[in-house]
Each structure stands twice: as C-alpha cells, then as structure tokens.
Amino acid sequence: MKITNVNNVTEFIEDYKVILCDLWGVIHNGMSVYENANKFLDHAHQKNIPVFFISNAPRPESV
C-alpha cells in the first residue's frame, strides 16, 4: 500500500458521501474552535457533504 501525504482535507473530501468528525482535538481544543475547522466545514457544506459530529470526551464543568 502506498502512503500519501495529505496537506489539506480538500484534496480528498469529495471521495466521501458523509464525514464523521470528532469534536475534541479536531474541531476545537476545549476552549476555542481551530481556525481551519470553519474552512473545512464550509468546504464540506459547499460540496453538499453532510458532516456528523461525534465525541466521547465531553467538556468538564471545571474547564
């Protein structure tokens, strides 16, 4: 199997019909949204690719 470096998710996003996306560490760091997360979500929306958010790490109340 050939391993290919990916510089940007937009290089392959159109190969998928739906995206399952973790929240913590992918979309946000627990305090704020990552800058490129909005670009990714906008691109998926423009291509009519649904994005479903999943998470197993809810934010603790003390943070």
The structural domains of the chain, with segments of one domain joined by +, span 17-53
Residue 60's pLDDT band (cuts 50, 70, 90): low
What mean pLDDT do residues 18-26 have? 90
Specify whether the CB–CB gap between 17 and 49 falls below 8 A: yes
Specify whether the CB–CB gap between 9 and 40 falls below 8 A: yes
What is the reported pTM? 0.69
3-state helix, strand, coil in the chain (%, to 5): 30, 15, 55
- Amino acid 25: pLDDT: 87
- Amino acid 19: pLDDT: 92
- Amino acid 58: pLDDT: 62
pLDDT of 16 above 60: yes
Tokens of 1: 């199997």
- By DSSP bridging, strand 19-22 and strand 51-54 are parallel
